[in-house]
């Protein structure tokens, strides 16, 4: 596939992405109105963004609290050398695990989990704890989540980023 060398998103692409990240169900008509472009032109750009994989899909955002799972926690696992829990598919057995990340550092795995209650969370932690040392951080509140992805270039300059927008490779 063309994993490398994305076709360089321009300003219009980013405007489209911003709109679609805020509301994936916009019609091409409405979208074209906001972007100030013709409908077919917008449709063609969206098609290209989908095909190149920049737009990976469209998902309904479900509010966990409203769906009976108000509790959230981050769990870092420090695994025995060889077997790392979740080595492969162990995460499939736990619907409560919403994210799995492999980390650098001594705690090799970062989980984000959801639970219906403190009791539920307690049971979950107990089960996961069997696989190795762990560190748990219960989330009290979430000021920001699902922040849309925005372009990283241009006006705001991060010290050290002198032309390195090309991701490496």
Partner DNA sequence: AATGAAATCCGACGCGA
Partner DNA sequence: TCGCGTCGGATTTCATT
Binding to its own copies (CB under 8 A): which residues in 123-152?
Answer: 123-124, 126-127, 137-152
Residue 155 CA to residue 135 CA, distance in Å, equals 39
Residue 93 CA to residue 101 CA, distance in Å, equals 16
8 Å CB contact between 49 and 16 = yes
| 82 lies in the binding site for its own copies (CB under 8 A) | no
Residue with the two structure tokens 């639970």: 115
Minimum CB separation of residue 81 from DNA in Å reads 50
Q: Which is nearer to DNA, 56 or 158 (CB)?
A: 56
Question: Which of the residues 31 through 60 are near its own copies (CB under 8 A)?
Answer: 52-60
Q: Which is nearer to its own copies, 11 or 126 (CB)?
A: 126
Helix (H) or strand (E) holding 73: strand 71-79
Q: Which is nearer to DNA, 7 or 148 (CB)?
A: 7
């Amino acid at each position: 596939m063309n994993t490398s060398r994305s076709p360089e998103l321009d300003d219009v692409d980013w405007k489209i992405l911003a709109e679609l990240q805020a509301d994936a169900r916009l019609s091409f008509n409405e979208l074209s109105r906001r972007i100030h472009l013709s409908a077919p032109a917008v449709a063609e750009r969206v098609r290209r963004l989908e095909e190149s994989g920049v737009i990976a899909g469209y998902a309904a955002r479900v509010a966990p609290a409203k769906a009976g799972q108000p509790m959230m926690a981050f769990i870092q696992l420090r695994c025995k050398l060889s077997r790392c829990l979740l080595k492969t598919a162990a995460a499939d057995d736990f619907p409560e695990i919403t994210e799995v990340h492999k980390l650098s550092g001594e705690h090799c795995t970062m989980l984000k989990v959801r639970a219906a209650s403190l009791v539920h969370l307690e049971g979950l932690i107990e089960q996961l704890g069997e696989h190795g040392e762990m560190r748990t951080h219960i989330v009290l509140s979430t000021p920001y989540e699902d922040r849309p992805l925005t372009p990283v270039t241009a006006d705001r300059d991060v010290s050290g980023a002198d032309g390195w927008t090309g991701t490496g490779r």
